[in-house]
Chains A and B, each alone.
Chain A
Amino acid sequence: MNELQYLIGVIIAMALATYFTRLIPFVLFGTGKESSLLNYVAKSTPPMVMMILVVYMLKDVNYHSFESVYTFLSIAITIGLHVYKRNALLSIVTGTAIYMFFVQM
């Protein structure tokens, strides 16, 4: 097996494995109309996952350096701006620009 065959094999295997994980619930549960518990889980999952994703993004911050100060300051600005204007793009771009300014300073 040469180099490119290996790479293409890997890409195909990864594509199948990834698609499989995303497809499973649709195959298992159909449209989910029959179960109220499933409905409840489906409704509760987005807020739970969003909370988890935020914690996940913060887990690798180095809490013994200024990085943590920059991170939380940028998050505070993002939250403040978003509560004030409710413009997702504006909040994200501003927060990111401020964070980039801090870390490149």
Chain B
Amino acid sequence: MIQSAIKVSLPIMFGFVPLGIAFGLLFQDLGYPWYFASLMGIIVYAGAAQFMAIGFLSVGLGIVEIAMSTFFLNSRHMFYGLSFLESFGNWNLRKLYLIFGMTDETYALLTTIKVPKSFQKERYYLYITLFSQIYWVFGCTIGALLADILTFNTNGMEFAATALFVVLLIEQWIMVRKLLPFIVGFISSIIALVFFLDHMLLVAIMVSIISIVLLRLIKVNHYE
């Protein structure tokens, strides 16, 4: 099961390690000891928010303001949990960790993969989530440690995240085979892009969920 989890999570590694390195490199410019980059990867574990924090830390913004900004930046995750209400199992430490480890990438992967029948689902999820975080912490640490000597040209590596989401989009299509959610998602993205560029992700997800609920309600009433 562990081998399978590593194999399935490798695409996340390709996204997280270079992104983590980029974070570590930038974090090092702030002048704090390198292990604080690792610590952030371990206990915050949120890509976009960590990058945002570099800017905030450099100007010494207040802790409350930073907490609020983090909350709003990550509030899209509120909708991600809906897909795992059942499949994360009973309340225990494992479930608390699975919730903690739900980033955009792990959400995308866990909702797309098929769990082999012989595997216990929650356990398999746990390994995938854990390995993903290890890749991230590894990247953050390496970036911060090697800030002065790193010469490998990582320019363009950020495309790995785009490629991952494109691949998972195809997989979603193969699984779902219904156009409606894809269309709703696309139109919501465009609306959010046009009117709320700064909060595009959150607005797009809210608009899409509200739309799909309304469409469903109309349809249900129609058939009754």
Chain B binding surface SS class: helix
B59 to chain A, nearest CB (A): 12
Residue pair A17, B82 in contact (C-beta under 8 Å): no
Residue pair B165, A41 in contact (C-beta under 8 Å): no
Chain A residue at minimum C-beta to C-beta distance from B40: A11
Residues of A within 8 A of B190 (CB): 55
> Assuming A37-B213, A41-B213, A47-B172, is B81 touching A22 (CB within 8 A)?
yes
Quick check: is A63 within 8 A (CB to CB) of the other chain? no
Residue pair A13, B66 in contact (C-beta under 8 Å): yes
> Assuming A11-B36, A18-B45, A18-B46, is B184 touching A48 (CB within 8 A)?
yes
Residues of A within 8 A of B32 (CB): 3-4, 7
Residue pair A79, B14 in contact (C-beta under 8 Å): no
Residue pair A100, B155 in contact (C-beta under 8 Å): yes
Residue pair A22, B14 in contact (C-beta under 8 Å): no
76-111 of chain B: CB within 8 A of chain A: 76-86, 88, 95, 99-100, 102, 104, 107-108, 111
How big is the B interface, by class? 35 or more
Quick check: is B182 within 8 A (CB to CB) of the other chain? yes
Most buried by B among A10, A33, A46, A82: A46
A88 to chain B, nearest CB (A): 5
Residues of B within 8 A of A24 (CB): 78, 81
Residue pair B200, A59 in contact (C-beta under 8 Å): yes
Quick check: is B169 within 8 A (CB to CB) of the other chain? yes
CA distance in complex: A76, B6 (Å): 27
> Assuming A25-B78, A55-B204, is B162 touching A14 (CB within 8 A)?
no
> Assuming A18-B44, A103-B156, is B83 touching A54 (CB within 8 A)?
no
Chain A residue at minimum C-beta to C-beta distance from B100: A19
**A residues lining the B interface (CB < 8 Å):** 3-4, 6-7, 9-26, 29-33, 37-38, 40-59, 71, 74-75, 78-79, 82-83, 88-89, 91-93, 95-96, 99-104
**B residues lining the A interface (CB < 8 Å):** 7, 10-11, 14, 32, 36, 39-40, 43-46, 49-50, 53, 56-57, 60, 63-64, 66-68, 70-71, 74-86, 88, 95, 99-100, 102, 104, 107-108, 111-112, 153, 155-157, 159-173, 176, 178, 180-182, 184-186, 188-190, 192-193, 197, 200-201, 204-205, 208-209, 212-213, 216-217
List 9 additional A-B contacts (Cβ < 8 Å) besides A11-B36, A29-B82: A9-B63, A12-B43, A13-B67, A18-B46, A22-B78, A41-B82, A46-B108, A89-B11, A100-B157
